[in-house]
Amino acid sequence: MLARLTRRSVTATALGALLCGALLGTPPAAPAAASSAAAASPTITVPPAGSHGFPFLAAAEDLGSFGYTESEYFISGTATSYAKSGLWTPDGRWNVRASGTAAYKSRLLVRRPADPAKYNGTVVVEWLNVSGRLDLSPDYWFMRDELLRQGYAWVGVSAQAVGVNGGLGEIKGLKGWDPARYGSLVHPGDAFAYDIFSQAGQALRTPNGPDPLGGLPVRTLLADGESQSAGFMTTYVNAVQPVSRVYDGFMVHSNSAVAAPISGVLADTLLMPNPSRIRTDLSVPTFVVLTETDVPGAAIARQPDTNSVVRWELAGTAHADQWVYDVGNATVRKSAGSAAPSPDCAAGSAPFNDGPGHWAMNAALRHLAGWARGGARPPSGQPLSTVLRDPVTGLATGGVRLPDVTVPTRTLTGSRDTTGSGVFCVLYGARDPWNGDADAWDRHDDGDPSDPSFPATAEPVLSRLYPTRADYVGKVRTAAQRSVDAGHLLPEDATAIVAAAQDSGIGG
């Protein structure tokens, strides 16, 4: 087991480069006045049907069966770019000045309850991820169950240039995918992405044209970004929120130690503070959630929890995982077909991590929504060890620990052996089913861990850990309740976890 875990290791430097490696635009050098005190309200229009007849990234699942509807809108106006003002330090208290203006036209993808009575008043605005050189919505997929069952509205924003204009690869952005629908879009570069994201939020609060939310009032507006988008979200929180004051709270999911450059130029990442922590003087909250994949590269940016910043590090989780792949793959392929980004893992390599990332994200979202409305701060979580692993189970130690790791049935890691694999494979972590030797396990369990017949790479035996179905289910139920009591798991998800244990066949 431990030998396999070693082969799966990936350096934090390489992973950080991958998480930050989007194609960033170059801003035009236009003059600008001083930055405004709040975001502009852009013009909202309805796009033409286009050649496909549906938006890029339209849901493949039947949203109507969840009581939801999906629509798309264009937003357009004049965006501002920003530059550093004064010295930027690791504490995140960063000031900016306006450095340019440019015309833009981008889009919002909106999913909302069809029945206003089912709407909970909170809108989650996701900065769509473009690491695959096209728009993707990883946090919608992570949090899909919580979003739909609780009546949130969700809005995906095409904030970055490569998602609109295209880059290397088969899909040439929205404009190349459907020129009839998206040919009028204009993105002047990622220096303007921050203000475009501000204006997207302002469009939801004070629509200038058709209302993307169909008349649903905005009670709480949450900004969200995962992976490379989380790097931009970190900079947005620290530098742009004090200027725009658009959002009521922030979800920063799987960022690295260094935030995205305010210039939008990839090379300028080298000029960003290392580490880039979240500023603690904002009146709105920020929730940072890191998977096991992220922690080695982000640990240097750890900071104590405060009244405005909370950080979770999730044991047994991956940057992307089986859940996200299963929920999102059909949607991506509906739009992108064979050009859809693929994990591209080598044949015969370990299966994807299928750990508790989505359960934790459900809880984090509910906590953030309540916190942003003036409710209690979310509970803290222990830091995850970047070195120590349980010598028998191979699981990481420390961190937020949900039933998948407190009552384990397989080894879950945030890293993997990527020999012969594509660049995105590493993000999916790994799971290692246990096929241990019962006789060797019994000798070890009898109190002789130094027995040479029990090799360091031996794996646990499920029948020895959980002799009966009742024993296994009872342990899962107890672990789930402890996680609920700790605030790291939602009660309805605990019920689903216990039901899955009952149906698993383990201990039977």
The pLDDT of residue 195 is: 98
Q: What is the pLDDT of residues 439-450, one digit of tens each?
A: 776 766 554 545
Cβ(486)–Cβ(421) below 8 Å: no
- 160: pLDDT strictly greater than 70: yes
Determine the Cα angle at 122 with ends 92 and 239, to 5°: 15
**Residue at 487: amino acid letter:** G
Cβ(82)–Cβ(239) below 8 Å: yes
What predicted TM-score, i.e. pTM, was given to this entire model? 0.92
Instruction: Report the alpha-carbon distance of residue 92 to residue 239 in Å, rounded.
Output: 8
Average pLDDT, integer, range 376-401 = 96
The pLDDT of residue 24 is: 38
| Helices 357-372/491-503 angle, 10° precision | 170
Quick check: helix, strand or coil at residue 328?
helix
Q: What is the pLDDT of residues 298-356, one digit of tens each?
A: 999 999 999 999 999 999 999 999 999 999 999 999 999 988 989 999 999 999 999 99
Q: What is the pLDDT of residues 167-224, one digit of tens each?
A: 877 788 999 999 999 999 999 999 999 999 999 999 999 999 999 999 999 999 999 9
User: What are the residue boundaries of the structural domains of the chain, listed by start?
Assistant: 2-339+352-372, 406-503
Least confident of 3-7, 103-107, 320-324: 3-7
The pLDDT of residue 442 is: 72
Which among 227, 270, 291, 142 is positioned nearest to 424, based on CA atoms?
227
Which among 153, 110, 319 is positioned nearest to 228, based on CA atoms?
319
Burial 461-487 (b: 16+ CB within 10 A, else e): bbeebbeeeeebbbbbbebbebbbeeb
Q: How confident is the model at residue 459 (pLDDT cuts 50, 70, 90)?
A: confident
The pLDDT of residue 171 is: 80
The pLDDT of residue 451 is: 54
Average pLDDT, integer, range 49-60 = 98
Please report, rounded to a whole number, the percentage of residues in the chain having pLDDT higher than 70: 89
The pLDDT of residue 457 is: 52
The pLDDT of residue 332 is: 97
- 417: pLDDT strictly greater than 80: yes
Instruction: Report the alpha-carbon distance of residue 138 to residue 323 in Å, rounded.
Output: 10
Instruction: Report the alpha-carbon distance of residue 74 to residue 42 in Å, rounded.
Output: 9
Q: What is the pLDDT of residues 221-279, one digit of tens each?
A: 999 999 999 999 999 999 999 999 999 999 999 999 999 999 999 999 999 999 999 99
The pLDDT of residue 444 is: 64
Cβ(399)–Cβ(360) below 8 Å: no
- 36: pLDDT strictly greater than 60: no
Fold of 2-339+352-372: Rossmann fold (3.40.50)
